[in-house]
């Protein structure tokens, strides 16, 4: 098997990551900076580092009630190993939870230059096309994480046309929607990543990096509390003909 890579090269008792000695990166650069280096092949600017760090923190956890956290904790409750429970939690992500960012990035890249956003949103609603990155179970009007991230992006000079477009879509959606649809963390993540010029396929990757510590914390809490196997009680199950 032959694998071509430009990421990591180990030779002469040294590990080289994207042209940088690992031991030097350990001493001079942060975890976030090296993540950026791994994906892009270059070290980030100070503004890019601060923005990516803010994105990671904003999505680090959202409580035990999310699909991914519930799946991870249920797996841990049956005495599975940490890595097995983490894998179960990651498999709980889907287009409706956690990894809608990739679809949102595709949408923003494709439509950000359109002049008539109201018409675009109306046409998609008529076609019953759901725009990814909008709506939230808990934050019904405004996702506070979105406000904070856009403020940071503006202060760092990163806020651009994709973020402006995402907010404009939110305004038009809420004019015709039967319920409030805030721009959620997936959509905000996606808009800012687009403004930073990232590849669409990184939308899922960056969210997974951000949420993994939260899943691990949920798993660890489940392990130390050790309440036993979690399952539905019989009175929570309704049998129908």
Q: Are residues 147 and 203 in the same domain?
A: yes
In a domain, 238, yes or no: no
In a domain, 177, yes or no: yes
- 121 and 176 Cβ atoms separated by less than 8 Å: yes
Specify the number of domains making up the chain: 2
Q: Are residues 98 and 28 in the same domain?
A: no
In a domain, 237, yes or no: no
- 194 and 208 Cβ atoms separated by less than 8 Å: no
In a domain, 170, yes or no: yes
In a domain, 236, yes or no: no
Give the CA diameter of the chain: 69
Q: Are residues 16 and 70 in the same domain?
A: no
Q: Are residues 62 and 138 in the same domain?
A: yes
In a domain, 240, yes or no: no
| Tens-level pLDDT at each residue, the chain (241 residues) | 899 999 999 988 899 999 999 999 999 999 999 999 999 999 999 999 999 999 999 999 989 999 999 999 999 999 999 999 999 999 998 887 777 788 999 999 999 998 899 999 899 888 888 888 887 666 667 788 889 999 999 999 999 999 999 999 999 988 887 778 888 888 999 999 999 999 998 888 999 999 999 999 999 999 999 999 999 888 889 999 8
- Among residues 61, 40, 69, 59, which one has the least CA distance to residue 187? 59
Q: Are residues 81 and 6 in the same domain?
A: no
DSSP bridge partners of 17:
8, 20
Q: Are residues 142 and 39 in the same domain?
A: no
Q: What is the CATH number of the domain that holds 108?
A: 1.10.230.10
Q: Are residues 3 and 117 in the same domain?
A: no
In a domain, 213, yes or no: yes
Residue 62 structural domain: 45-230
Q: How far apart are CA 209 and CA 230, in angstroms?
A: 27
- Provide CB contacts within 8 A for 195, sequence distance 6+: 153, 158, 159, 160, 161, 162, 163
In a domain, 191, yes or no: yes
Q: pTM score, two decimals?
A: 0.91
Tracing tokens 């990739």 back to the chain, one arrives at 102
- 75 and 61 Cβ atoms separated by less than 8 Å: no
Q: Are residues 196 and 129 in the same domain?
A: yes
């Amino acid at each position: 098997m032959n694998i071509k890579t430009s990421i990591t090269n180990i030779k002469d008792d040294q590990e080289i990551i994207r042209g940088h000695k690992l031991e030097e990166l350990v001493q001079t650069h942060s975890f976030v900076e090296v993540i950026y280096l791994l994906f892009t092949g270059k070290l980030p600017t100070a503004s890019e580092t601060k923005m990516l760090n803010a994105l990671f923190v904003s999505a680090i956890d959202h409580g035990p009630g999310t699909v991914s956290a519930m799946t991870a904790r249920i797996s841990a409750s049956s005495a599975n190993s940490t890595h097995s429970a983490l894998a179960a939690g990651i498999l709980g992500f889907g287009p409706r939870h956690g990894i809608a960012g990739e679809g949102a990035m595709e949408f923003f890249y494709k439509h950000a230059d359109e002049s008539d956003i109201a018409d675009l949103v109306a046409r998609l609603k008529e076609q019953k096309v759901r725009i990814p990155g909008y709506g939230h179970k808990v934050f019904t009007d405004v996702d506070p994480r979105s406000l904070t991230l856009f403020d940071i992006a503006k202060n760092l000079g990163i806020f651009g046309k994709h973020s402006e477009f995402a907010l404009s879509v939110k305004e038009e959606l809420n004019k015709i929607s039967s319920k409030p649809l805030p721009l959620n963390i997936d959509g905000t993540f996606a808009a800012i990543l687009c403004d930073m010029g990232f590849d669409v396929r990184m939308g899922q990757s960056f969210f997974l990096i951000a949420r993994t510590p939260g899943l691990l914390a949920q798993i660890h809490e489940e392990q130390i509390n050790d309440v036993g196997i979690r399952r539905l009680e019989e009175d929570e199950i309704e049998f129908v003909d």
